[in-house]
Amino acid sequence: MPTLREVQKRIRTVKSTARITKAMEMVAAAKLRRAQARVEQAKPYAAKMDEMLSHLALASTGEIVHPYFEERPIRKKTLVVIASDRGLCGSFNTNVFRKADTWLAEQTGTDVEIVAVGKRPVDYYKRRQWPIIDSHIDWGGQLDYDRARKIVTFLTERFVTGATDEICLVFTRFLSLVKYQQVVDKYLPISRPEVAEDSGTVSDYIFEPSSEQIYAALMPSYATTKMVTALAESFASEHGSRMMAMGNATKNADEMTQTLTLDYNKARQTQITKELLEVVGGAEALKG
């Protein structure tokens, strides 16, 4: 049975841990609010880009011609794994890796390469069979548009030059403050916008410049928007997962403190009773 001093030491340790986890929970909550605002700003912009592509495809008289739409026989694929730099965020990283590994297991007969966004995917995949051709770490859970553009430039150049035939993103989609979903989203080639023949939309447009030139100017922005949206959702999900994990850790620490305090009181009561019995026993011995 632990001594009173050992129990007191454990209580102090658990209380100190609870203060740390509470502070981390508050920091994650503050970061989550900012990340959620970025997601809410990015989603309407991405939806508007999709709408513009659909309208342009509807109004275009010829076939859409742009390298980002090129579909060719798949010999090599690139998987961009977006996770976090740090841990202490529950099962956030584990769920991303599980989703990525499931997708990788399905790619039989195809060469696959990894682009890791975050320190955790770098540490995870450097010990596995798939090569990491590029990595981007030390984000700190903050969206950096310049770094996002560098990732887009690297990926699009590899696709256009034929170094890879398909690029997919695996990340955590932010649905709400307490709900997230791991998804694999095809990045390149871009799926051609679907145009409904009976949509009733007027397609009598005059293009200046041509629709091909508009696509050439629009597609880089579209690719950047898609990457920025994925990063924003991943960072928001990371902060939400860390906030919940630290909240649960604080709750568990408080419960452990109560249990240890109860054990301390019981041990203290036992010690006092033992001392009283020794005093009474000594007094009785003196009387005898």
Kindly list the structural domains of the chain, giving each domain's residue range(s) and its CATH number in brackets, ordered by start. 4-26+245-287 (1.10.287.80), 29-243 (3.40.1380.10)
**SS3 category, 85:** coil
Catalytic residue chosen out of the listed positions 79, 82, 83, 89: 89
Bridge partners of residue 173, in order along the sequence: 181
Eight-state DSSP code of residue 139: -
Q: Cα(27)–Cα(49) distance, rounded to whole angstroms?
A: 33
**SS3 category, 111:** strand
Q: How far is CA 220 from CA 40, 150, 207, 214, 233, in A?
A: 22, 12, 19, 11, 20
Q: Quick one: tokens of 213?
A: 């030139």
Which pLDDT score, from 0 to 100, does residue 254 have? 92
Which pLDDT score, from 0 to 100, does residue 68 have? 85
Q: How far is CA 284 from CA 272, 277, 279, in A?
A: 18, 10, 9
Backbone φ, ψ for residue 79 (5° rounding): -115, 120
Angle (CA) 158-71-217 rounded to 5° is 65
Angle (CA) 27-29-32 rounded to 5° is 110
Please give the radius of gyration of the chain, using alpha carbons only, rounded to the nearest integer: 29
Burial class (CB in 10 A: 0-12, 13-18, 19+), 172: buried
- Is there a catalytic annotation at residue 168? no
Q: Cα(106)–Cα(98) distance, rounded to whole angstroms?
A: 13
Q: What is the dihedral of CA 52, 43, 154, 77, to 10 degrees?
A: -90
Q: What is the pLDDT along the chain (288 residues), one digit of tens a residue?
A: 677 888 888 899 999 999 999 999 999 999 999 999 988 888 888 888 777 777 676 665 556 677 888 888 999 999 999 999 998 999 999 999 999 999 999 998 899 999 999 999 999 999 999 999 999 999 988 889 999 999 999 999 999 999 999 999 999 999 888 889 999 999 998 876 665 555 555 455 666 776 677 777 888 888 999 999 999 999 999 999 999 999 999 999 999 999 999 888 888 888 888 888 888 887 777 776
Residue type at 191? S
Instruction: Check residue 200 and give left, alpha or beta (phi > 0: left; psi -120 to 50: alpha).
Output: left
Which pLDDT score, from 0 to 100, does residue 46 have? 81
Which pLDDT score, from 0 to 100, does residue 244 have? 93
Quickly list DSSP for 162-198: TS-SEEEEEEEEEEETTEEEEEEEEEESPPPPP--TT
Which pLDDT score, from 0 to 100, does residue 159 have? 94
